[in-house]
Amino acid sequence: MMALWMFAAVFIVLLSGYPVAFALSGTALAFSTLGIYLELFDADFLAAMPNRLYGIMNNQTLLAVPLFVFMGVMLERSNLAEDLLATMAELFGSLRGGLGVAVTLVGMLMAASTGIVGATVVTMGLLSLPTMLKNNYSPAIACGTICASGTLGQIIPPSIVLVLLGDVLSNAYQQAQLDMGIFAPETISVGDLFTGALIPGLGLVGLYLIYLIGVAWFYPHLMPAPAKKTTHSKDFYWRICSSLLPPLGLILSVLGSIMAGLATPTEAAAVGAMGATILAIAKHQLSLEKLQQVMRNTTQITSMVFMILIGATVFSLVFRGFGGDEIIIELLSDLPGEKFGAIFIVMLVMFLLGFVLDFIEITFVIVPIVGPVLLSMGIDPVWLGIMIAINLQTSFLTPPFGFALFYLRGVAPSSISTSQIYLGVAPFILIQLLMLGILATWPQLATWLPSIIYNTGT
């Protein structure tokens, strides 16, 4: 039971606010020392640590992380969101509920451009919330729309979540096949997850829009049309093209090169980073000082990700040394409903952990433990990855601990109450759960497009 005690201990340490990377590795090393003293742990497991860390350093896929982070931070600094929101608001603002539609579409584009949830929610909160309140939108509807559209960065590619999840699931899938006696294992890639996430991600955006249009239609007082009709200036359509085409071109160049097999995710991330820099220069938004800020933020975020990955690697190694993987196999295998029961319990645990842990910790700590067990049951790895991503996105919205709620609360005016934010996200949580149910019923929504592209490539 030492493995379970270690898991409980690290959870308590994490709740104390101690840095995640050091909480994971420190707890693991403390328990391994205790285990060696009590003769319950084989010290040879720790001898494998240098090879594990070298594998992280030598992992080409993970090079995409700093490049995508750089791309997102650069686009955030180039006022892309501000231009997009102004253009979309002018395009849809004359319609009832048009601002809600504009915020959702801009959130989708920002998610595909940056892939950073916190940055998107904060940016959208600062830019769009005052405008929506000024146009007499319900504070709850406005806050819910911003939080929900901001979390689309979890599922719409190119997403940092999917990059990290793809790498972890690839290792788990190979481990599951080796455990089943398959010594020429198949692999999945980050590109498979990117492709698999397109239909569910766009479907989720569609459900958001249907809900907002329905509210505007049946409850017009919550999302009113402006008193004055907007008259478009002569250069309006030129401004639409100049605001929309650059980010769309960047997104298509990144995703298109991956889906067409012209570039790996790492190479496509490099294209995205260079493209974001060119956009910033074209908009006259890049100075030496701003470039230094972008580089500094990229280094900070990337260092955080990789330190957590190293800490999680130490934790998972010690966890397996105590036989924790065998305990997980027994627990999940003995559940009623077999595959369905195991998936349900794992999703429920991840949903609850999403209240207090970031997606990085869950991806690096939980997925390597439960992934091989679930995949050995014959579950499709791409479908599992998309289910996990949407699940974590839902937990980011759920009160009282959803991260997106904290991000918006930090930038919302004092006139907005916390209860209004909670009330506003409730319908979007139900939409997320509906999407999870749809994807669970029709896994082909995630697996069809990757299989088509793969078969085309061969």
Distance CA 436, CA 390 (A): 7
Both tokens assigned to 330: 């027994």
The pLDDT value given to residue 455: 62
SS3 458: coil
Q: Give residue limits of the domains in the chain.
A: 60-299+410-457
The pLDDT value given to residue 458: 35
The pLDDT value given to residue 208: 95
By the 8 A CB rule, do 290 and 61 touch?
Answer: no
Both tokens assigned to 72: 């997102």
Tokens 């990144």 -> residue:
254
Q: Which is it for the CA torsion 212, 214, 219, 224, positive or negative?
A: positive
Distance CA 269, CA 266 (A): 5
Distance of CA 65 to the CA centre of its chain: 13
Amino acid at 333: S
The pLDDT value given to residue 211: 95
By the 8 A CB rule, do 366 and 23 touch?
Answer: no
Nearest to residue 258, comparing CAs of 267, 247, 249, 246?
Answer: 267
Q: Which is it for the CA torsion 134, 140, 143, 148, positive or negative?
A: negative
Angle at 183 between CA 181 and CA 187, to 5 degrees: 110
Q: What is the DSSP letter of 157?
A: S
By the 8 A CB rule, do 207 and 434 touch?
Answer: yes
Local confidence pLDDT in tens for the 458 residues of the chain: 788 888 888 878 877 777 878 888 899 899 999 988 888 888 887 888 888 888 878 878 788 888 888 888 887 777 776 777 777 777 776 778 888 888 898 888 877 666 666 667 877 788 888 888 888 889 999 999 999 988 887 888 877 888 888 888 988 888 888 877 777 777 788 888 989 999 999 999 999 999 999 999 999 888 887 766 656 666 777 877 877 888 888 888 888 888 777 888 888 889 888 988 998 888 888 888 889 998 998 898 888 888 888 888 888 888 888 887 778 777 777 777 678 888 888 888 888 887 767 777 788 888 888 888 888 888 899 999 999 999 988 888 888 777 788 788 888 888 888 889 999 999 999 999 999 999 999 999 999 988 887 664 43
Taking residue 84's Cβ as centre, other Cβ atoms within 10 Å add up to 22
The pLDDT value given to residue 232: 63
Both tokens assigned to 138: 């319900």
Give the contacts of 436 (CB within 8 A, at least 6 positions apart).
Answer: 347, 387, 390, 391, 394
Quick one: angle between helices 2-15 and 324-333, nearest 10?
A: 100
Distance CA 40, CA 38 (A): 5
Both tokens assigned to 414: 């004092």
Angle at 280 between CA 278 and CA 285, to 5 degrees: 145
